[in-house]
Structure 1
Amino acid sequence: MLTRIDHIGIACFDLDATVEFYRATYGFEVHHTEVNEEQGVREAMLRINGTDDGGASYLQLLQPIRDDSPVGKWLAKNGEGVHHVAFGTDDVDAESQAIGEKGVRVLYDRPRRGSMGSRITFLHPKDCHGVLTEIVTAAAPQAPGDPSGH
């Protein structure tokens, strides 16, 4: 079952300038940053609020680190703006299988690593009324002082 809007992904040319805009304009602060080599992006997660299921909702700002990355290609074609919407679930495997059985194309055979240790997959935008849709299972919360994240 989908439990929340996990995040909205926003593609940008300059991550630092975009982070500063959201900080100065709305007061949103950076919760997490990372470089995801597999996805070809440098990203910042700006936490908006917590949710009833223990997760949170974020804005994910994405700057490509390669022109040939999916976000890089998208930016070249569309310019800055909303890239995708992500819904949270406690089981990305089961959820993507159930959605696939309804005729929606799931873009990855198996979920991949996403932001902050999450597991993700994407649904084809042509099957979702033009919206690239991500399904996310957040990583288990890290105990204070536990460097392993378990």
Structure 2
Amino acid sequence: MPLKELDHVVLLVRDIEQGVETWTRLGLSLSHRVNNPDNGVAVAFFIQPDGTFLELVAPTRDDSPYAQMLREHGEGLRLLSFKVDDLDQAVVDLEAKGVKLRGVGTERVFIEPVSASGILVQLWPRDRPHRWRENLAPRT
């Protein structure tokens, strides 16, 4: 089986402050925030005890690709990311089953929504670190 376990979930929100308030009110603890001006987004992370995390993403400018996604699709689930033991083998296995993929040959491989009930699914190698979770990028 290529998909092993959930790694993280990305939700697209209009307002990062409102999103953080919503998810803390629901009982999650904010771990940290990151501003990414290059992509025009503010991001908030809610890391869970098992290592999975919820990632809220909000555009910070109108020309951000995320602002365009909001205009087209509204708020909500943007991405599910699942751990895989071996990215290359997962690609082979999924393609053999007719699953439509994007990013094959790169380190960022996704299952197209047409092959996953309308959801974009990321394949995350189990041994790949998360730059935000492992303190490999500046936080704000």
Paired letter, 2:89? A
Q: How far off is 1:110 after superposition?
A: 2.9
Cα distance in 1 between the residues matched to 2:121 and 2:23: 23
Aligned residue number for residue 44 of structure 2: 44
Q: How far off is 1:87 after superposition?
A: 0.8
Paired residue secondary structure (2:91)? helix
The alpha-carbon distance between structure 1 residues 72 and 107, as it changes in their structure 2 partners (threshold 3 A), is farther
Which ranges in structure 1 are unaligned for 5 or more consecutive residues?
A: 51-55, 113-119
TM-score, structure 2 length as denominator? 0.73
Cα distance in 2 between the residues matched to 1:68 and 1:99: 34
1:1-150 matches, cutoff 5 A? 1-31=2-32, 33=34, 35=36, 37=38, 41-50=41-50, 56-65=51-60, 67=62, 69-112=64-107, 120-137=108-125, 139-140=128-129
Aligned length: 132
Percent identity between the two aligned chains: 25
TM-score, structure 1 length as denominator? 0.69
Cα distance in 2 between the residues matched to 1:141 and 1:133: 17
Which ranges in structure 2 are unaligned for 5 or more consecutive residues?
A: none
Paired residue secondary structure (1:27)? coil
The alpha-carbon distance between structure 1 residues 2 and 49, as it changes in their structure 2 partners (threshold 3 A), is farther
Cα distance in 2 between the residues matched to 1:135 and 1:41: 22
Q: How far off is 1:59 after superposition?
A: 0.8
- Tell me how large the CA RMSD over aligned residues is: 3.0
Larger CA deviation: 62-71 vs 102-111: 62-71
Paired letter, 1:4? E
Cα distance in 2 between the residues matched to 1:79 and 1:140: 30
- Structure possessing the higher relative contact order (Cα contacts under 8 Å, 6 or more residues apart): 2
Paired residue secondary structure (1:2)? coil
